[in-house]
Amino acid sequence: MFFRTKPAGSYRYLQIVHSVREGKKVRQQVIATLGRLDLLEASGQLERLMRSGLRHCQSFAIIDAHAAGEIQPVAIRRIGPDLVFDRLWKESGIPEVLRSVLKARQYEFDLERAIYLTVLHRLFASGSDRAAERWREDYLIPGTEGLELHHLYRAMAFLGDSIEQLEKPTGALRCNKDLIEEALFERRRDLFTEVELVFFDTTSLYFEGRGGESIGQRGHNKDHRPDLKQMVVGMAVDVEGRPICCEMWPGNTADVTTFLPIVKRMRERFRIREITVVADRGMVSQATLDAFENSDPPVRYIVGVRMRRQKEVSLSVLGSRAHWFESVPERSKAKDPAPLKIKEVWVEDRRYVVCLNEEERRKDAHDREAIVAHLKEQLRSGDKSLVGNKGYRRYLKVEGSGHFVIDEKQLKAEERYDGLWVLRTNTVYNAETVAHVYKALWTVEDIVRTAKSILETRPIYHKCNETIRGHVFCSFLALLLKTELERRMKFADFQCEWAQVLRGLEALQQVEATFQDKCFLLRSQLTGEARLCELPESAHPQRCASCPNPSIWRKCSAKSFSHFYKYLFPRHLYFCGVEDRF
C-alpha cells in the first residue's frame, strides 16, 4: 500500500492504492482518493493526516520526537568498529582457532574477547594496552563489558607464552602465536594452495623501559633511537599482500642471520615445498644464498644486491654491454607507472637482472648537482664543518696541507649508479617478471610501516617477554583484518583512504534513550565514507525499527543496509533497530 499522484487536466490528485495480482499481471487498485494535492498541502490537511498516522507507528514517532527534542538520551556508544570488524574477525576463523588452542587451558574470563578488544583498539586508536581499557567505554563491543586491565595483560602473555626453544643463531622461540598463525594458514589452504612467492622484511621496535627479560637489546636502530633497547620483528607476506607470519628476535640480531632460519621454519610450519623468497639487499649475504642453493629442494630467490661493495657487480654486471629492454615506457600522465628498462647479465652460473628508471636517473643527477653546488659555496667559508655531513663527505678528498676539495673522480664514479638497481635470482622467471616481482616488495614494506606508524606498535611498555610478543602479535592480527577489509573494498571497487574508512565507521553511533517511560536504541545515519558506500538502488538504512527479540541486532536482507556492508559481507548483514526493554 502506498501513495500515488494522478494527473487530471491541470491538477494532480493524491490517492491511496495497493497492488493486486490478477493472473500473471499486477494491477493497482485505488482504495481512496484524498483530493487535490495542492489544496491538501496548502491547508495543512496532508501534514495532519501523516502525524495522525504516526500514533500507530512507534518507530516513526520516536524519530519525530527525537527531532523535536522530546527524547532524553541516556548513553551514546559507537557501533561502527565492531559492526564491521567483528564479522571480519569471525569470518577469518580467529575465534575458532583461539578456542582450539585453548582446549587444554581454562581462564575465568573470555580470552578471545580480550584479544579481540586489543586488536580492535590497535586498529582505531592504537597506543598501549592500558589505554584500550579506557577506550572501550565509548564503544559497543559485546562480550567485553567485564574485562579489566589485568585480563588484557594475561591475554598478551598467553599469545607470547613459549612452547619450545628453537636452535640458534637467532634465539627465537616457538609460541602459542605460532600455533594460531599455522591454523589460520591451514584454514585457507585447499588442494591448489601453494605459496609461490613470499616477500620478507624486518624492522626494529624500541622500548620505553627495560625491554623485557632478554628480548630487548641494543642494536642497529632503524628508528634512530640508539639510546633505547629494541627488538627485531620480521614479517612474511604472500603474493596477494596477506601477512603469513611474524617472527621476533632480540634487538641485537643482524638481519642477514634471520633470513635463512625463517625460510626453514616456514617450510616446516606451513608444509611448503616450493618457495620463492623476495627480499632487499640488506637481508642477504653470500653464505645465505649458498645455503638456499644447497637446500633440498633449492630455495628460489629474488634479492637485491649491493652495487658499490661487490666488485663482481660494479665491474662485470654494470659493465656489461647487453641491450636494454624497455618494459615500461616514459610516463604520459602523472599516475602512470614509473618507467623501467631491463637487461639480463650472466656471470658464470650467476644470473643478474639490471633495472633502470630514467626518472630516478635524472633525479639522482639533479640532486648530486645541487649538493656539489652547495658544497662549493660552503668550501669558500671553511671546510672543517663539512666532515660530519655524510652527503658532503662522500664527494670530498684531502689535498695539500690537510684541506678538503671536491673529488671529481668520485663524482664521475657516482654517475654510473644513477637510477640503477641490480637483482640476483635463481628462478626460471624471465627478466621482466623478476624486475616487477621485486618492485612488488613495497607491499611488505608498506605493511611494516603500517604496523609501526598507523597501528603504533612502538614504543612498547611491557616488561615481560611473553607480553611483549603478545603485544606485537596483536598488531599482526590487526594487519590481517585491515588487509582483508582492503581486499574486499578493492573487489567492490571502493576508492577510500584508510583514515576515511575509520572516520566513517566511528561516526556510526547508537543512542540509548527514554521515551514515554520506555527505553529505546536508535542508530545515527551513515556519514562520511560509510555514507558514500551505499548502493544506488538500496533503500536508506533505517534509523529506527522495532525488534521483536531482545537483541538490538537482527538479520535482514541485503537491501536493508548499505552498499558498504552488502559488498563486504555478501551473505547477510545486520542493522540496528529499536529495542523496547521494558
- Structural contact between residues 215 and 251, judged by C-beta atoms closer than 8 angstroms: yes
Q: Which residue has 598501549 as its cell numbers?
A: 128
Q: What is the average pLDDT value for the chain, to the nearest integer?
A: 79
pLDDT bracket for residue 227 (50, 70, 90): confident
pLDDT of residue 182: 92
Domain map of the chain by residue range? 2-56, 73-77+508-576, 359-415
- Structural contact between residues 318 and 420, judged by C-beta atoms closer than 8 angstroms: yes
In 414-552, the DSSP E strands lie at 420-425, 509-515, 518-523
pLDDT of residue 553: 32
- State mean pLDDT over 85-107: 90
- State mean pLDDT over 470-481: 90
pLDDT bracket for residue 435 (50, 70, 90): very high
pLDDT of residue 86: 92
- Structural contact between residues 501 and 521, judged by C-beta atoms closer than 8 angstroms: no
In 37-172, the DSSP E strands lie at 72-78, 162-165
Within 8 A by CB and 6+ apart from 60, the residues are 54, 544
Over residues 486-532, the pLDDT tens digits come to: 888 888 787 788 888 888 888 888 877 776 677 777 777 665 555 43
- Structural contact between residues 200 and 233, judged by C-beta atoms closer than 8 angstroms: no
Element at 2 (helix H, strand E)? strand 2-8
pLDDT of residue 257: 79
Q: Which three cell numbers stand for residue 201?
A: 622484511
* 119-133, 159-173, 439-453: range with highest mean pLDDT: 119-133
CA max distance for the chain: 108
In the predicted model, is pLDDT for residue 466 greater than 80? yes
Q: What is the DSSP letter of 161?
A: -
- Structural contact between residues 188 and 179, judged by C-beta atoms closer than 8 angstroms: no
pLDDT of residue 52: 79
pLDDT of residue 555: 32
pLDDT of residue 326: 92
Over residues 170-213, the pLDDT tens digits come to: 556 789 999 999 999 988 876 455 567 788 888 888 877 676 77
pLDDT of residue 286: 85
Over residues 14-71, the pLDDT tens digits come to: 888 988 888 888 888 889 888 898 898 888 888 888 877 766 776 666 666 766 666 7
pLDDT of residue 347: 92
Query: What percent of the chain is predicted at pLDDT more than 70?
Result: 79
Q: Which three cell numbers stand for residue 529?
A: 565514507
In the predicted model, is pLDDT for residue 378 greater than 50? yes
If one compares 230 and 360, the residue with the highest pLDDT of the two is 360
pLDDT of residue 115: 94
